Amino acid sequence: MLRPLEPESPWNRSVLALSALAGIVGAYLTLAQDAEPVLAIEAAGTAFLSWALAREIDPDRQVPALVLAVVGGTWALLGFETAILPFTALLMSERLVVETTGRRPLPTDLAGLAVLATVVSFTPLGWVMGFGLAVAIYVDARMAEEPNRSALFAALAGAIGSSLVASLSGTFPRTLPTIDPLVMAALGVLALIAVVREPLEPVSFVDSRTRKFLRRDRLQAGRALAAILVFLGALVSGATAPAVVPMTLVVASALASTEVERLQRASRRPG
């Protein structure tokens, strides 16, 4: 699951440079302008995670992923709310469901994912993403059509662990959070589009050595899961809902890229 970056790729070097730059600017703002002590980590992490999530759910396009890295890093540097751990849980959910590594998760991977689902759940958004990661473990095993008791146990452990941590830490709000109806309506429409609109057939490999392509049904399932989790995360977060903005932009960009490509193909079709 922890796929390493290929250093010879100029795209990978670019995102590493952008993330490092965001971290350096964040450190400068902390030292010179008394910004948050962890701003450097938040800026670098949000930039990298925005790029990584874009590469999971929009694997055929490199440029939008870099643009989203810039947007994510800028969002953090401007002082807006971020959520590195829930973002990481969402990323790993997409890596599982879309199966971009081309390899089945090992029992150690599943155990690590269950632990991640548990430890991120001390905030409302973290609980949504942690529980969503547990669901992703189960969905991945079902889509693989391989009976796997380890996956079932890991999904149960992640779901129970995340809910237990959320309960013990007082994560669940006792009153309904204040939400913006227009924002929630927009996120709901985004989730609906992700569910009903199929992506185009992917042309990216999950493993260049075996020349195995990504599966279209997995890509749609991953996009749908990401959009639904973003919607639910914003719904329960209330005042901290701006933390889902970088994740939302990634999902919206992936869906928009598909529609643009679909229109371009239609315009090139004879007649």
Both tokens assigned to 213: 């392509």
Q: What pLDDT score does 207 carry?
A: 56
CA 154 to CA 160: how far, in whole Å?
10
Q: Is pLDDT above 70 for 86?
A: yes
> Of the candidates 104, 128, 114, which has an alpha carbon nearest to the alpha carbon of residue 244?
128
CA 97 to CA 92: how far, in whole Å?
9
The contacts of residue 106 (CB under 8 Å, 6+ apart) are none
Q: What pLDDT score does 271 carry?
A: 59
Are the C-beta atoms of residues 206 and 212 closer than 8 Å to each other? Answer: yes
How far CA 73 is from CA of 3, 37, 57, 197, in Å, comes to 22, 16, 19, 29
Q: Is pLDDT above 70 for 193?
A: yes
| Mean of per-residue pLDDT scores for the chain | 90
Are the C-beta atoms of residues 51 and 102 closer than 8 Å to each other? Answer: no
The single residue listed with the structure tokens 């089945």 is 104
DSSP codes joined into one string, 54-112:
HHHHSTT-SHHHHHHHHHHHHHHHTT----HHHHHHHHHHHHHHHTTTSSPPPHHHHHH
CA 122 to CA 116: how far, in whole Å?
12
Give the three-state DSSP class for 206: strand
Q: Is pLDDT above 70 for 208?
A: no
The single residue listed with the structure tokens 């924002």 is 183
Q: What pLDDT score does 26 carry?
A: 94
Higher pLDDT, 224 or 148: 224
DSSP codes joined into one string, 178-193:
P--HHHHHHHHHHHHH
Percent of the chain whose predicted confidence (pLDDT) is above 90: 69
CA 42 to CA 159: how far, in whole Å?
26
Q: What pLDDT score does 194 carry?
A: 95
Both tokens assigned to 146: 């391989």
Q: Is pLDDT above 70 for 159?
A: yes
Mean pLDDT for 60-71 is 94
Q: The pTM is what?
A: 0.93
| Lowest pLDDT segment from 94-108, 124-138, 208-222, 250-264 | 208-222
pLDDT tens for each residue of 218-234: 999 999 999 999 999 99
Q: Is pLDDT above 80 for 240?
A: no
